[in-house]
């Protein structure tokens, strides 16, 4: 398996940049930069491209609706050329809370918008004149004076496109059109039915196989010295998982909650969401089980993490995205370094 991590710049932006530089020295293969509702990803990626030399850099992810398809393609070409071909373009639909609440753009028809966005981006990458007639986008705009244009810039390298997908429909689309799948909330034991059945359906429709797409899954990694420390780690992470199950998305749309439901925790996921929406944050965290935390993370003793990585590999993960625990930059790098070693040994 390849190794990756995801960073997001905040008020400690310089520390994050230093983390990425040091992670490359540890042998990390890919560094994804998140966007969500914080800092933008392209600015950080341009900076990291100048600070690093070898590892791949990915937008993880750019959200649909916040930029036009052509400006996404322009951004991708710029970052790819600046980094000498080390750029990976990750795209995601996000959710109604961010897209509508923060950006004021309709979240309707995310599947259609993703399909047409990727089609337009790939047309831009070919370097020809851009003309497109779809249900979501029409280029040039009908009824105006414009004629099809081509960009003055050219992509000097191939730019792989990854889709962040959790829903069955988006997974099928990922299998049909993407070079990689960025997943989360991943439980290897439940992945065949919850994820891979839909992904493989899309791959088959496009005449492709699993080997033609990069399966990139992420989880927090932390090493516990003993059982007491492990119990404390699990307890602390229940609040984080409760937020994903109850607070990520809107009252009616939460892809994380649905993903956990498909992997065997329907009742628990529903209870956590109900408690969270009622404002009972503590009750929501208590409803999360130890099993849920351990199944979707890489935390435990070193032997536990080693064994879990083997399960991820056997389930079909090609790239493991590591979120290293630690209160300081040095602690996070130490955790990441040991995790990278374990992946290499797996």
- pLDDT bin (cut points 50, 70, 90) of residue 255 is confident
pTM: 0.91
202-212 mean pLDDT: 97
Answer yes or no: do 72 and 83 share one domain.
yes
Q: What is the pLDDT of residue 133?
A: 97
Q: What is the pLDDT of residue 266?
A: 85
Domain end among 277, 297, 317? 297
Answer yes or no: do 114 and 129 share one domain.
yes
Answer yes or no: do 215 and 82 share one domain.
yes
Answer yes or no: do 276 and 328 share one domain.
no
Which DSSP state fits 252?
S
CATH number of the domain enclosing 81: 3.20.20.30
**pLDDT surpassing 70 at residue 251:** no
Helix 41-51 to helix 13-25 angle (10° resolution) is: 50
Answer yes or no: do 256 and 315 share one domain.
no
Contacts of 188 (CB under 8 A, 6+ apart): 311, 312, 314, 315, 317
Answer yes or no: do 120 and 267 share one domain.
no
Q: Which residue has the higher pLDDT, 237 or 177?
A: 177
**pLDDT surpassing 90 at residue 345:** yes
**pLDDT surpassing 80 at residue 36:** no
**pLDDT surpassing 70 at residue 11:** no
Answer yes or no: do 178 and 233 share one domain.
no
Domain end among 258, 273, 297? 297
Report how many domains make up the chain.
2
Q: What is the pLDDT of residue 112?
A: 97
Q: Which residue has the higher pLDDT, 97 or 70?
A: 70
Domain span at residue 233 reads: 225-297
Contacts of 47 (CB under 8 A, 6+ apart): 17
**pLDDT surpassing 90 at residue 182:** yes
Q: What is the pLDDT of residue 181?
A: 98
**CA 111 – CA 26 distance, rounded (Å):** 38
Residue 257, Cβ density class (10 Å: 0-12 exposed, 13-18 middle, ≥19 buried): buried
52-77 confidence digits (pLDDT tens): 999 999 999 999 989 999 999 999 99
**CA 165 – CA 163 distance, rounded (Å):** 6
Which DSSP state fits 318?
S
Q: Which residue has the higher pLDDT, 265 or 316?
A: 316
The overall average pLDDT reported for the chain is 93
194-215 mean pLDDT: 97
Q: What is the pLDDT of residue 346?
A: 86
Answer yes or no: do 173 and 275 share one domain.
no
Q: What is the pLDDT of residue 244?
A: 84
182-208 mean pLDDT: 94
Q: Which residue has the higher pLDDT, 189 or 12?
A: 189
- pLDDT bin (cut points 50, 70, 90) of residue 256 is confident
Q: What is the pLDDT of residue 250?
A: 66
- pLDDT bin (cut points 50, 70, 90) of residue 249 is low
Q: Which residue has the higher pLDDT, 8 or 117?
A: 117
Answer yes or no: do 303 and 284 share one domain.
no
Answer yes or no: do 200 and 335 share one domain.
yes
Domain end among 273, 297, 321? 297
Which DSSP state fits 26?
T
Answer yes or no: do 83 and 202 share one domain.
yes
Answer yes or no: do 275 and 160 share one domain.
no
296-323 confidence digits (pLDDT tens): 899 999 999 999 999 999 999 999 999 9
Q: What is the pLDDT of residue 12?
A: 76
Q: What is the pLDDT of residue 38?
A: 82
């Amino acid at each position: 398996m390849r190794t990756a991590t995801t960073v997001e710049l905040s008020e400690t932006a310089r520390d994050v940049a230093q983390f990425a530089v040091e992670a490359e020295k540890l042998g990390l293969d890919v560094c994804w930069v998140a966007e969500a509702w914080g800092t933008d990803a392209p600015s950080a990626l341009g900076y990291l491209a100048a600070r690093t030399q070898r590892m791949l850099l990915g937008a993880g992810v750019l959200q649909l609706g916040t930029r036009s398809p052509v400006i996404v393609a322009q951004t991708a070409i710029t970052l790819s050329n600046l980094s000498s071909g080390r750029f990976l373009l990750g795209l995601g639909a996000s959710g109604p809370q961010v897209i509508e609440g923060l950006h004021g753009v309709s979240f309707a028809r995310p599947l259609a918008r993703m399909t047409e966005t990727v089609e337009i981006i790939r047309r831009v990458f070919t370097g020809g004149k851009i003309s497109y007639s779809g249900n979501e986008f029409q280029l040039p705009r009908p009824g105006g004076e414009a004629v099809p244009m081509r960009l003055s810039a050219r992509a000097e390298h191939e730019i792989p496109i990854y889709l962040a997908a959790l829903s069955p429909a988006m997974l099928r689309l990922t299998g049909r059109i993407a070079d990689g799948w960025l997943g989360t909330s991943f439980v290897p034991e439940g992945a065949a039915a919850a994820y891979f059945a839909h992904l493989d359906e899309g791959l088959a429709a496009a005449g492709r196989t699993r080997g033609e797409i990069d399966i990139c899954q992420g989880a927090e990694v932390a090493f516990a010295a003993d059982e007491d420390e492990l119990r404390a780690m699990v307890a602390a992470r229940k609040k984080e998982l409760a937020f994903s199950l109850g607070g990520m998305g809107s009252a009616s749309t939460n892809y994380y909650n649905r993903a956990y439901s498909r992997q065997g925790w329907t009742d628990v996921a529903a209870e956590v969401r109900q408690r969270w929406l009622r404002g009972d944050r503590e009750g929501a965290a208590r409803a999360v089980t130890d099993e849920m935390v351990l199944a979707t993370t890489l935390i435990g003793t070193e032997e536990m993490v080693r064994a879990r990585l083997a399960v991820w590999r056997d389930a079909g993960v090609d790239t493991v995205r590591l979120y290293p625990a630690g209160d300081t930059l040095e602690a996070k790098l130490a955790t990441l370094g040991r995790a990278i070693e374990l992946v290499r040994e797996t």
